[in-house]
């Protein structure tokens, strides 16, 4: 059975509240997502999630998105079914637990969870080793508080997330 049968032209995108992932997860624009989630969900689904994150920065409680416009602005064809490239990528977001259909659109995670072991097993050996190394070094004692303070000081949320992930991957 298909998760998404018919994709609307316009969809209401709301944040999917998950206290655990919201507290410990990864910004969709982060180096972590690009390095590890990209190989799991693919580049188009990653870009869709990044687009949603950018919109959440402007409208944290949710927004209405013209999916046809979003698809064509990303260089993708749009069809109301899930067989278009955009539909397939959106379906992957749902399939991998990053979004879920609602009556008028989608609830979307604002942060990605750490990649599950079942997905890590499918990655190339070198990328899996890099992830294992990252996991050993990752320490986040006051990260969320510092992130919040930097955003309140005017640093864009995406830049803060990318900086923290770059530090974690470089250490």
| pLDDT digit string, tens, across residues 96-140 | 999 999 999 999 999 999 999 999 999 999 999 999 888 877 755
Predicted local distance difference test score (pLDDT) of residue 82 = 61
Mean per-residue pLDDT over the chain, rounded: 87
Pick from 18-22, 56-60, 136-140, 151-155: least confident: 136-140
The Cα-based distances of 37 to 2, 32, 45, 72, 127 in angstroms read: 22, 7, 10, 23, 11
Cα–Cα distance, 133 to 72 (Å, whole number): 38
Helix, coil or strand: residue 16: coil
Residue 83 neighbours by CB under 8 Å, 6+ apart = none
Q: Is the pLDDT of residue 1 over 50?
A: no
């Amino acid at each position: 059975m298909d998760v998404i049968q018919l994709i609307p032209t316009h969809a209401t995108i709301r944040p999917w509240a998950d206290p655990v992932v919201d507290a410990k997860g990864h910004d969709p624009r982060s180096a972590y997502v690009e390095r590890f989630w990209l190989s799991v969900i693919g580049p188009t689904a990653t870009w869709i999630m990044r687009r949603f994150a950018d919109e959440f920065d402007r409208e944290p409680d949710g927004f209405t998105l013209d999916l046809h416009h979003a698809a064509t602005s990303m260089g993708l064809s749009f069809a109301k079914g899930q067989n278009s490239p955009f539909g397939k990528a959106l379906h992957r977001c749902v399939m991998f637990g990053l979004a879920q259909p609602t009556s008028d659109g989608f609830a979307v995670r604002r942060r990605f969870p750490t990649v599950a072991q079942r997905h890590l097993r499918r990655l190339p050996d070198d990328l899996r080793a890099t992830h294992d190394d990252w996991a050993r070094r990752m320490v986040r004692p006051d990260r969320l508080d510092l992130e919040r303070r930097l955003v309140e000081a005017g640093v864009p949320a995406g830049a803060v997330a990318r900086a923290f992930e770059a530090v974690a991957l470089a250490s």
